[in-house]
Amino acid sequence: MTEDLPAWNSEYDVIVIGYGFAGATAAITAHDAGAKVLLIEKAPEADKGGNSRVSANLVFWPNDVALAKAYFVALAGPYMDDISNTMVDVWANEMYANRTWLEGLGMTPFELPYVEFPEMAGSECVRVLMNGPGPMGGERLWRIIEAAVSARDIDVLYEAPAINLIKDCSNIVGVMTKQRGKNVAIKATRAIVLTCGGFENNPAMVRNYVDGLPRIFPNGTPYNTGDGIRMGLEVGAQLWHMNNISGPLLSFKAPEIAVAQWLNLPHGKSYLFVASDGSRFTMEGDPCLTGDLHGKVKRHGQWGQQALPVPIHMIFDETFRKSGHIGKATTDWDVSHGNLYDWSDDNIREIEKGWIKRADTLSELADLIGIPAEALEASVVRFDEFASGGVDADWNRAADKMAPLDTPPFYAMELTPAFVNTQGGPCRNENAQVMGADGNPIGRLYSAGELGSIYSFLYQAGGNIGECFAFGRIAGRNAAAQTPAPSMAKPFAFT
Ligand SMILES: Cc1cc2nc3c(=O)[nH]c(=O)nc-3n(C[C@H](O)[C@H](O)[C@H](O)COP(=O)(O)OP(=O)(O)OC[C@H]3O[C@@H](n4cnc5c(N)ncnc54)[C@H](O)[C@@H]3O)c2cc1C
């Protein structure tokens, strides 16, 4: 606690913390309800947009509210216990309302057939929307939302991370930000909305909250470092859904690049993945490569989180090396931010950088990467037999996607689990209020988006962005509807 606090530097009705889809939606809605709104963003302007901007820009739109509720409950399965029926009702109704709201902002909905769990109750309602036909992503929905913010009298501050929420008795009354190295206190007369994303780029939180994945890197923004979780905890929030993530996807992380890069494998066949004991542990395809089912796998009849035996190496031969670039030469983050890594077509540049190790024999390669040579050789011999015989008796990889590693030299590239987003954070209720550990809402504090998402277990594609709009509107509406705080007292308590 600090008693000697600076006076307020400025004052707004509603302050929204984090400028992705959720923050933009809350800001637009609060503004349209008559509030004077400030949107504060940690990243520089060039890196704005969070995961929202670099996402595939897909929106899950349920075309029937009753079926949507059934599908939600089926997906949550045994992890439904902390989600009230009221919450599910509100989620379903607002998700349904998204389409009209987005059309009102200028979106041209184009439906994709992408039902992630067709066998689940209610799945007939699933429609996944993007803004017009064409490739996924490309900021095509982001630009519409960004334009809607720009068209309004909403102040936006970049490079202004929120560092603490300021609490007056039971109410949140302002936020301390860091601007050009200085602490700047901003008062919110009505409310604050937390929309500052998840903890994808906070290794300590990942270690504490995500089971089975000690090392995992973001495919999206590097700026989501769990700040909303820390700030929420400081003012007494309870957390939910911390162990639910969308991933892992096996990717490559170069030390000098902030985010993990996708792999590009379809061109070649003579490769396999091995764990640190030299054993093969997966089909080298669905689900850990493609991200289908967002990292959940069914084992022994039960769905669960995919875990991976890191460190993992991809082993391949000269034929595969020559067959095309192994890195996708892009990540969505790099493309959006003009920071594209140009992966060489023959992978030579990456060998020279040391990202890929080369050796004349498998035994020497094993020594280079510190795994038992006999085990690696045995795994490759077995894989080669499967590839030649046309049946992968261990992992059922398709015969037309396998070929023996018969052309030296041999190569190893370390892979890393990566993920698109976390779901956990401060728990919110049907009014988008952040809930305290005592079970009561924290006064004048709201949230939306992937920071404390409603998704506790299985996940339908497009669900996060849909929730950003749904709860962004609820949060913006309710924040603007608060009666202005009666006093202009200086902040007196922040931790
Ligand atoms: C590659 C990729 C593809 C995806 N595709 C889809 C998809 O098609 N459909 C879907 O539904 N979901 C998708 N997702 C997930 C989805 O994009 C996110 O869950 C969603 O966009 C989160 O929106 P948000 O507004 O909550 O957070 P973000 O968009 O991540 O925005 C949070 C913002 O808060 C800022 N911030 C962080 N800390 C602070 C602080 N202390 N102070 C101020 N600002 C701060 C960050 O810089 C960031 O700009 C994808 C994710 C990725 C990475």
Model pLDDT for residues 205-245, shown as the tens digit of each residue: 999 999 888 889 998 999 999 999 999 999 999 999 999 99
CA atoms within 13 A on the CB side of 404: 12
Question: What CATH number corresponds to the domain at position 446?
Answer: 3.50.50.60
- Which of 374, 396, 419 is the last residue before a domain boundary? 419
Q: Is the pLDDT of residue 437 over 60?
A: yes
Q: Is the pLDDT of residue 289 over 80?
A: no
Mean of the pLDDT values across residues 469-480? 98
CA 384 / ligand 1 centre spacing (Å): 42
Q: Is the pLDDT of residue 2 over 50?
A: no
Q: Is the pLDDT of residue 469 over 60?
A: yes
Same domain, 48 and 119: yes
Mean of the pLDDT values across residues 349-366? 97
Q: Per mean pLDDT, which range of 24-33, 217-226, 235-244, 337-346 is the poorest?
A: 337-346
Same domain, 306 and 431: no
Asked whether residue 447 is assigned to any structural domain, the reply reads: yes
Share of residues in the chain with pLDDT > 90 (%): 80
Q: Is the pLDDT of residue 6 over 70?
A: no
Query: 155-157 and 37-40: which strand pairing?
Result: parallel
Q: What is the DSSP letter of 210?
A: S
Q: Distances in Å between the alpha carbon of 159 and those of 86, 225, 259?
A: 37, 15, 19
Mean of the pLDDT values across residues 270-288? 86
Check residues 290 and 455 and name the one with the higher pLDDT.
Answer: 455
Asked whether residue 208 is assigned to any structural domain, the reply reads: yes
- Average pLDDT value for the chain: 92
Model pLDDT for residues 163-177, shown as the tens digit of each residue: 999 998 889 999 999
Mutate to test the pocket of ligand 1, among 55, 164, 199, 337 (most ligand atoms within 8 A of CB): 55
Q: Please report how the helices 362-369 and 373-389 are oriented relative to each other, as an axis angle in degrees rounded to 10.
A: 130
Same domain, 442 and 308: no
Nearest-CA residue for atom 49 of ligand 1 = 50
The domain in which residue 300 lies consists of 249-419
Mutate to test the pocket of ligand 1, among 136, 230, 465 (most ligand atoms within 8 A of CB): 465
Contact 98, 466 (CB under 8 A): yes
Distance in angstroms (rounded) separating the CA atoms of residues 221 and 65 = 32
pLDDT class for 184, splitting at 50, 70, 90? very high
Beta-carbon count within 10 A of 489 CB = 11
Model pLDDT for residues 378-427, shown as the tens digit of each residue: 999 999 999 999 999 999 999 999 999 999 999 999 999 999 999 999 99
Q: Per mean pLDDT, which range of 260-274, 364-378, 382-396, 480-494 is the poorest?
A: 480-494
CA 19 / ligand 1 centre spacing (Å): 9
Same domain, 232 and 345: no
Q: Which atom of ligand 1 is nearest to the CA of 448?
A: 26
Asked whether residue 492 is assigned to any structural domain, the reply reads: no
Asked whether residue 184 is assigned to any structural domain, the reply reads: yes
Check residues 219 and 146 and name the one with the higher pLDDT.
Answer: 146
- Ligand 1 binding pocket (C-beta < 6 A) is 17-23, 40-43, 49-52, 54-58, 161-162, 195-197, 219-221, 223-224, 227, 332, 420-421, 449-451, 462-465, 468
Mean of the pLDDT values across residues 33-47? 96
